[in-house]
Amino acid sequence: MSLFKIVIIITLVLVSNILKGQDAENKALYDTIMDLDKTYFTAYNDCDMKTQSEFYDDDIEFYHDMGGLATDKAELLKSIEKNICGKVTRTLIEESVEVHPIKDFGAVQIGMHKFYNNQEPNAISKPTKFIVIWKNTDTKWLMSRVISLH
């Protein structure tokens, strides 16, 4: 067998393992978290404060590289309403998202997103990183820890 054929076979094996991706259980978790992300950020972009409120754990820790740490759910929501509503929209970079289970707790979502601030129309919207720790309760998923970097 030629070296070229060996390289092709090895490449196909490696690529098929990468494309195989997550097993069915992790694929279901990925889909769940992506649906939650979509629902939450639709509410975020539309300034639906009631829906946003339903996503945050009462014990939220929200780490923002520019705004610092927020641990009061009501204050966090007031800040979002004051500083985000009608001004800022978020777009997820879907291909960047990773979702991993956290045993007996929930999941971690890691990815990139972009924000557009209509108050700064000439500002360049650059992709930034985020991490969300999702807590799976008996009845729903909640954001319990968020790290948002800009």
Residue-wise pLDDT for 84-122, tens only, equals 999 999 999 999 999 999 999 999 999 999 999 999 999
pTM: 0.82
**pLDDT for residue 39:** 98
| Architecture field, domain 3-148 | Roll (3.10)
8 A C-beta contact, residue 131 and residue 98? no
Q: Spell out, as residue ranges, where the chain has pLDDT lower than 50.
A: 3-21
Query: b or e along 87-107 (b: 16 or more beta carbons within 10 Å of the residue's beta carbon)?
Result: ebbbebeeeebebebeeeebb
Sequence ranges of the domains in the chain? 3-148
pLDDT, position 25: 72
CA-CA distance, 41 to 34, in Å (whole number)? 11
Q: What is the pLDDT of residue 3?
A: 46
CB 97, CB 108: distance < 8 Å: no
